[in-house]
């Protein structure tokens, strides 16, 4: 995890300074679904920072971001889940007509899920996994862009005692606003 985050920070520094790119702060909202029969759909929120740049005078886009997210699940049984996500991702893509960026996403994310069961008991489940997907950003003004991202994260989960719970795949689609500087 530390190597992935370190690589992402280096990529962001290269993209924003060496490649004459833009740094950004991002805020977004997304819809998420898990690939289990017991997990309902929910709305999540994500904040982050990162940078995009171009290789020389080309339209090839390179960058990355560090993000933190939160979502809340409520199950039919009365159990609730506060889910926190954190991680880094790299972006590689192309800029069309100077204002439209299309890019692929690959990264590594961790999660911490705090379950409160219907009987009042409590358990924390943690995990990590690879995130992949695609994104589109459109620059509205020089320092503001709006975007859409579709990502899939495959978490390998363990309970509080260290027992493996298996993999759960979360699929997100959402929008964001990036303030560029």
Can you tell me which residue has the tokens 């159990």? Answer: 79
- Closest to 74 measured CA to CA, from 127, 38, 98, 102: 38
Contacts of 74 (CB under 8 A, 6+ apart): 40, 80, 81
Q: How many CB atoms lie within 10 A of CB 176?
A: 21
pLDDT in tens, 40-63: 788 999 999 999 988 888 999 999
pTM of the model: 0.85
Is 56:64 a contact under the CB 8 Å cutoff?
Answer: no
80-116 pLDDT, tens digit per residue, is 999 999 999 999 999 988 789 999 999 999 999 999 9
**Structural domains of the chain, ranges and CATH numbers in brackets:** 2-180 (2.40.160.20)
């Amino acid at each position: 995890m530390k190597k992935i985050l370190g690589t992402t920070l280096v990529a962001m520094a290269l993209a924003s300074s060496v490649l004459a790119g833009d740094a950004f702060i991002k805020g977004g909202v997304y819809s998420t679904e898990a690939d289990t029969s017991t997990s309902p759909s929910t709305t999540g929120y994500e904040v982050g920072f990162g940078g995009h740049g171009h290789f020389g005078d080309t339209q090839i886009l390179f960058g990355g971001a560090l993000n933190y997210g939160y979502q809340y699940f409520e199950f039919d049984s009365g159990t609730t889940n506060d889910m926190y996500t954190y991680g880094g991702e790299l972006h590689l893509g192309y800029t069309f007509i100077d204002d439209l960026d299309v890019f692929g996403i690959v990264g590594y994310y961790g999660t911490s899920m705090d379950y409160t069961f219907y009987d009042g008991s409590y358990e924390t489940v943690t995990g990590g996994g690879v995130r992949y997907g695609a994104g589109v950003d459109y620059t509205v003004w020089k320092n503001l862009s709006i975007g859409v991202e579709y990502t899939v994260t495959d978490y390998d989960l363990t309970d509080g005692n260290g027992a493996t719970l298996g993999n759960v795949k979360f699929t997100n689609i959402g929008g964001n606003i990036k303030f560029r500087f």
